[in-house]
Structure formats: C-alpha cells, structure tokens
Amino acid sequence: MDRTTLEKLGPYAWRIPQTGSMRVPAVIYADEVLIDDMDTKVAEQITNVACLPGIVAAAYAMPDAHWGYGFPIGGVAAFDPDEGGVVSAGGVGFDISCGVRLLTTNLSRADIATQQEPFAHELSRTIPAGVGSRGRIELDEAEMAAMLAGGAAWAVAEGYGRNDDLERIEERGTMTGARPDLVSARALLRQRREMGTLGSGNHYLEVQSVAEIFDAEAARAFGLEVGQAVVMIHCGSRGLGHQIGTEYLREMALAAPAQGIVLPDRELACAPIDSELGQRYLGVLRAGVNCALANRQILTHLTRGVLERFFPGVRADLLYDVSHNTCKEETHVIDGRARRLFVHRKGATRSLGPDYPDLPPALTAIGQPVLIGGSMGTGSYVLVGDARSEAATLSSACHGAGRAMSRHEAARTWTGAGIQKELAARGIIVKSPSRRGIAEEAPGAYKSVERVVEVAERAGLARRVARLAPMICIKG
C-alpha cells in the first residue's frame, strides 16, 4: 500500500481522510511493515465502506486486513438506524459467524506426545473435514428449525455438551431474534447433513500447547499455564451461511436503487436496517449465527469423546467462543452520546474490556478472551480485551494472521505433501482429505501472526496473554 496516500496518526494507525462520497474517514491499524505489505485493495475497499449510509465514527481495518468480498477481511463498521444506517450482507460475508473456540485441558504437551499419531488419526476419523464433508447427524425439518433458533443451547439440550459451556459463548450460545422460518429451502437442504463438520478452506481443529505466557494475571484467570495442552476449533455455518450470503447479496444489490442507495461497489450490497429487507436479513443472519454456534458445540462434544477415549478422566473446559463474521446490535458511545448501532465485523472479533455487561462473571474483572488463529506451522495467540479498544475500534480486534498471498498462488508455490513432511519434522502432524488444501494454507501464505498481534497490542486493541504452539492439525 502506498503510504503517501495516508495520514499517519501514530506508529500503529493510519487514516484515509474523508473525501468525495466518504461519510466518515477510514482508519487502518498497522505498523510500517504491515502497511507496506498490505494489499492496495484494502484501502480501496475500506474507503468504499466509509461511503455507506448511516456509518458512524470511521470505517476500520485491523492489522491482519486483506482483500475480501465487499468489506476487506479485517473490516469493522457501525451503522445507526436512526440516521438511515444499513445492514450489509457484504459486510458479514458468506461464512456467517465463522469463529474460534478454545478448550483448556488438564493434560500436558508430554501427555499428548505419548499418543500423538494415533490420537491425530482418531480425531481425523471422528471430525469430518473438507469440501462437502458430511457428518453423522441428519436433522429433519423440525430439528433444523429448533437448531436455528437455539444455537449452542439447542446442541447442549440435545446432549452435545454441558450447560456451563453456554456461559463461555457469545450471546450465551443463542442469538436472539433468529427467524428460521425465513431461511430458504435451499439453505436448509445444504445444512441438513453438515452439522458437526469442519468444512474446508482455513477451517481447522488443532491440538496445541501453551508455549509462552505474556500476562500472568490474565493467564491465571483463563486457566492457562506453560506446557498445558489445549484444543482450538475454527469453523462456521457451512453451507447454510454461504447460501444465505449468496441469496441476500443478490437481493440487496437489485433492491438498492429503489431504496435510494448508491453502491460504491456492488459487493457492498446492503439495505436500510429498518426496511423490510434489512429486518428479514437480520433474522436469517441470526439463524446463521446460531447454526455456527451449534456446529462448534457439536464439534466440541465429538472432540471431548476422542479425548476421553485416549485419556480417561480428562477435563476439557471451554475457555471462550468468539465469532468473526457478524453484525450485532450494540450500544457504543459516539461523540459523548450512547447510541444503538449495528456493528459489522468481517474477519474481526469483539474485544471487550473489563466490566463489560455481556461478559460471564468469571471474566468480568479481567476482560474477554480474544482468540487469534495463526497457521498450521506458526501457532496461535490468546489475547484479552482492552478497555482502550472501545474508543479505537468499537471494541474490536483482529482475528488471525491474515493472508499474504492468494490460495492459487500458494498452491503453485508449495505441495501439500511437502508441507506435511516439513511440519512433521517439527513435530506437527497435519491430517486433511485434501493435499491441495494443505498447500493453499501453507504457513508461508500468511502474514507474521507475531507481528499482527504485537501491533494489535500496541495499538490498544487487545493485550497478549499466551502463545500456543501446534501439535496436531485436522485441516479442512
């Protein structure tokens, strides 16, 4: 990205001034290395977001930002319905509520190492992954409606988990306001056999160990210590979410002229929040969120079953579950006034500081866990929400390392077999139904997750708590 087109606000923040059709400025969080390496499309896309009706404060891009559909991945923007604000299917994306959850265990890295290969094999056999993967759960029409209305709470009631899991999930595991009755027959059909599956792309289940602690107090509150084994699950709403995105992007784009909306980019298709179309999309979006929460809950249950078979009496507790691709109704203070806003986070996560009302009691004093997935070979991070992020980014932070090259380019650069062999030499077992998928997700295809999280911390978006090193990766 050309720095000469930006105003430098500080060592970790850059502004695109409000010009032309922009209703607010755009702000990008990055250091000089990340901004120089950032795709120029990020600046173009975040500028277009700043042109949408009813946007407040600024359009934000996180340190891991890269080109996406409509919004850049790592884009955050809030809209005020009282000022003609919109909800954008392009600002949520196709993988509705794609997110990450982390399980802490009472096992050590050494415990996993004694059973690493057979344990990895059993996980890969139990957790369906890959394009078009199908699970053993098939829902009928009534069960599908109940799942879309209840989310993780439905899954727990069906025996997939524990009641205390719900305290550690955003929205307590159920997004209210879901409208399963408005979800299309095609979306329902695509999801009928996909519950309890990882899918493809950058989705994964990883067994990791805590390699480093940065914040001892937060680590104690989160139940993390060096050498401990943990499990990270990254997936979303699968075929249902993709179908919802496909349908509403088309409908919103066609309806925009009649709504008086001039789209700076067709991929930013949107509708006024208070319109019939906007309200309908919010209803199905929330059903998609519940689908993703239920899916991750089922995967947690399946993972616990494998853990128990290899390590009888093991404890695997849910630390937290965060969603990345969402639009949520929240209250934020803008220009000294509390306002009801609809906050889009695409490839970004909430980063709630201490004493935020939505946090479970056990986390109120310390803040929300922020889970940052890395790549198969670089590791992941646990951060904690920072009170400063409310003013900086409407309580938002990055969600991962961010791609540095396209999947096509990665597949031309590496082979899946080569990546597996390289990682195996480092003690990391990768299981996947797709060798090409492994190549596309090669560690070298991503930015430095260490630099991304360091910038997030220094910019006040979240604070580092722990670094996690991969041991087993079940890849979609």
Q: What is the pLDDT of residues 131-152, one digit of tens each?
A: 667 778 899 999 999 999 999 9
Residues acting as catalytic residues: 399
298-355: pLDDT as tens digits: 999 999 999 999 999 999 999 999 999 999 999 999 989 999 999 999 999 999 999 9
161-183: pLDDT as tens digits: 999 999 999 999 999 999 999 99
HEC readout, the chain: CCHHHCEEEECCEEEECCCCCCCCCEEEECCHHHHHHCCHHHHHHHHHHCCCCCEEEEEEEEEEEECCCCCCEEEEEEECHHHCCEEEHHHCCCCCCCEEEEEEEEEEHHHHHHCHHHHHHHHHHHCCCCCCCCCCCCCCHHHHHHHHHHCHHHHHHCCCCCHHHHHHEHHHHCCCCCCHHHCCHHHHHHHCCCCCCCCCCCCEEEEEEEEEECCHHHHHHHCCCCCEEEEEEEECCHHHHHHHHHHHHHHHHHHCHHHCCCCCCHHHCEEECCCHHHHHHHHHHHHHHHHHHHHHHHHHHHHHHHHHHHCCCCCEEEEEEEECCEEEEEEEEECCEEEEEEEEEECEEECCCCCCCCCCHHHCCCCCEEEEEEECCCEEEEEEECCCHHHHHCCEEECECCECCCHHHHHHHCCHHHHHHHHHCCCCEEECCCHHHHHHCCHHHECCHHHHHHHHHHCCCEEEEEEEEEEEEEEC
pLDDT value of residue 36: 94
Residue with the bigger pLDDT between 377 and 91: it is 91
Dist CA 313 CA 304 (whole Å): 11
Dist CA 407 CA 156 (whole Å): 36
Q: Would you say domain 3-87+95-404+446-475 falls under CATH 1.10.150.130?
A: no
Dist CA 96 CA 420 (whole Å): 30
Question: Does the pLDDT at position 257 exceed 90?
Answer: yes
Average pLDDT taken over every residue of the chain: 95
- Calculate mean pLDDT across residues 182-197: 94
pLDDT value of residue 258: 95
Dist CA 356 CA 383 (whole Å): 16
- Calculate mean pLDDT across residues 95-122: 97
- Calculate mean pLDDT across residues 418-437: 93
- Calculate mean pLDDT across residues 115-122: 97
Dist CA 132 CA 125 (whole Å): 16
Dist CA 288 CA 112 (whole Å): 34
- Calculate mean pLDDT across residues 215-233: 98
Question: Does the pLDDT at position 23 exceed 70?
Answer: yes
pLDDT bucket at 403, cuts 50 / 70 / 90: confident
Pairing of strands 462-475, 429-431: parallel
Quick one: how far is CA 296 from the chain centroid? 12
Residue with the bigger pLDDT between 122 and 357: it is 122
- Pick from 412, 183, 136: which is nearest to 283 by CA? 183
pLDDT value of residue 105: 98
pLDDT value of residue 130: 67
- Pick from 37, 32, 49: which is nearest to 348 by CA? 49
The four Cα atoms 168, 173, 177, 179 give a dihedral, to 10 degrees, of 160
Question: Does the pLDDT at position 50 exceed 90?
Answer: yes
264-301: pLDDT as tens digits: 999 999 999 999 999 999 999 999 999 999 999 999 99
Beta bridge partners of 205: 233, 474
Domain residue ranges of the chain, discontinuous segments joined by +: 3-87+95-404+446-475
